Amino acid sequence: MNYTEAVTYIHDTYQFGSKLGLENIERLLQSLGNPHEHLKFIHIAGTNGKGSVSTLMSLILKSSGLKTGLFTSPYLEEFRERIQVNNAYIPKSDLASIVTIVKKKIEMLVSNGHPHPTEFEVITAVAMKYFHEQKVDIVLLEVGMGGRLDATNVIHRPELVILTSISMDHSEYLGDTIEKIAAEKAAIIKPQCSVVVYPQTSAVQSVILAEAESKASTLHLVDPLAIKILEVNSQGQKLLYQPESSVFNIQSFHLNLLGKHQSLNALTVLTAAEVLAEKGYPITTTDIETTFNHVSFNGRMEILSRSPFILIDGAHNSDGLSCLAENLSTYFKDHTIRLFFGMLEDKHIDNALKDLFPLCEKIITLTPDSPRAKKAEDTAAHIKNLGFDNVTSCEHVHEVDPLLLYGERTLNAFCGSLYLIGKVRTYFTNR
């Protein structure tokens, strides 16, 4: 099996749906020799911010000298983004050889009457085997969806659990209230482990507190007052770190990411770094400051071009779109903004989407590259029904050029599903 065949095989397993539960992944990993039992993990769950936090943590740990694995989902432009060691994508040859092995194990299990693993279970198994082969020191393991029954929850005792911002999303799978969703995500907390918690609503925090107490785990609540934004511009932001106590000599620093929410993600990472340093991990002040100063995160408030001015952001749920509206108001309040937007059928984002309407002179809808995509013309009709009239549809990304705004104080903002944002990024960077 070559690389193309391996990726095709993985994507073809989409037909087996999304089944929450651990029995399949446990059986598959057992057939592979339980590679996950030989690894250390930082397990990360949440609705928004998982990617930013896991990327920042992986860069800091790599800078500290540790061989660091990173498992994220979904990918933006290339499948190999999902499985990295020291922030380098899994080589095509390694992916092909491991998928070949995993495929044979799956065929054996299916022939014995067991259900076929889902796409995410296959990818999780491939990642675990690769990280074990690479003898990584620690893995940043990002939950796919939820937590309790997510395939990543097969791990037993993480070095650290991080819970990022939790809000309503995937309610058809996780529950129809914020408390139910929080409970699903908080269930990755294991007995007597350390847990870092992003600032949450009181309803979410009470659920997390109860879960941690039942597991006799130690909570480290991120204090939003410990970070202060001193200055913002299109190059990033200058922040002041002022915790009650710290093992690091950090005060003001530059964060090379846009968005107020990223200041809280950075604070979550700082809190996690404090916990890890106290556990003996060799993290230094320099490791943290260098990472924050140079980090780039594709597809999140990312400026692709300044002529025309093009910004992309993978805001695809209510919290993400609300953050985007706030950031556009902060950074581009005196710009004429044209919004390019595409969504999936299963997203319920009407109220947050309305937050963007007063900021935009026109909205152009697109169709994401996903079986679950909402058609561009249907999204346009939906936006009109919500009360915004200056909207039109454009089926394909390569057709947007005549629709772009040019000139000073103009901005073309692309947002929505990552399946769309990845295609947009590839299209414009190739140009």
Query: Mind listing the pLDDT tens digit for each residue in 83-100?
Result: 999 999 999 999 999 999
CATH superfamily for domain 302-430 = Mur ligase, C-terminal domain (3.90.190.20)
pLDDT at 163: 98
Q: For residues 131 and 37, what is the distance between their CA atoms, to the nearest angstrom?
A: 11
Domain boundaries in the chain? 3-294, 302-430
End-to-end CA distance of the chain: 32
| CA-wise closest residue to 420 among 319, 327, 328, 312 | 312
Confidence band of 171 (pLDDT split at 50, 70, 90)? low
Q: Is 80 exceeded by the pLDDT of residue 413?
A: yes
Q: Categorize the per-residue pLDDT at 21 as very low, low, confident or very high, splitting at 50, 70 and 90.
A: confident
Q: Mean of the per-residue pLDDT values for the chain?
A: 93
**320 vs 132: which has the higher pLDDT:** 132
> What pLDDT sits at residue 288?
98
| Alpha-helical runs (H) found in 237-375 | 260-278, 285-294, 318-331, 350-356
Q: Which residue has the tokens 């092995």?
A: 101
Q: What is the distance of C-alpha 314 from the center of its chain?
A: 9
Which string of b and e fits 193-218 if b means at least 16 CB within 10 Å? bbbbbbebeeebbebbeebbeebebe
pLDDT at 172: 66
Rounded to two decimals, what is the model's pTM? 0.91
Both tokens assigned to 24 = 């399949």
Superfamily of domain 3-294 in CATH is Mur-like, catalytic domain (3.40.1190.10)
d(CA 264, CA 74) in angstroms, rounded, equals 22
Q: Could you give phi then psi for residue 266, rounded to 5 degrees?
A: -65, -40
pLDDT in tens, 260-315: 889 999 999 999 999 999 999 999 999 999 999 999 888 989 999 999 999 999 98
Whole-angstrom distance, CA of residue 238 vs CA of residue 387: 38
Residue 233 has pLDDT above 90, yes or no: no
Neighbours of 430 (CB within 10 A): 6
DSSP H helical segments within 134-195, as ranges? 171-174, 178-186
170 band by pLDDT with thresholds 50, 70 and 90: low
Q: Cα Rg for the chain, rounded, in angstroms?
A: 21
- 139 forms beta bridges with 41, 69
pLDDT at 13 over 90: no
Residue 44 φ/ψ, nearest 5 degrees? -125, 125
CA–CA distance from 87 to each of 9, 55, 246 (Å)? Answer: 25, 8, 27
Please list, residue by residue across 242-254, b when 16 or more beta carbons sit within 10 angstroms of its beta carbon and e when fewer do.
Answer: ebeebebebeebb
pLDDT of 371 strictly over 90: no
Position 347 pLDDT exceeds 70: no
Task: Tell me how many degrees the CA angle 189-195-198 measures, rounded to the nearest 5.
Answer: 110
3-294 with 302-430: one CATH topology?
Answer: no
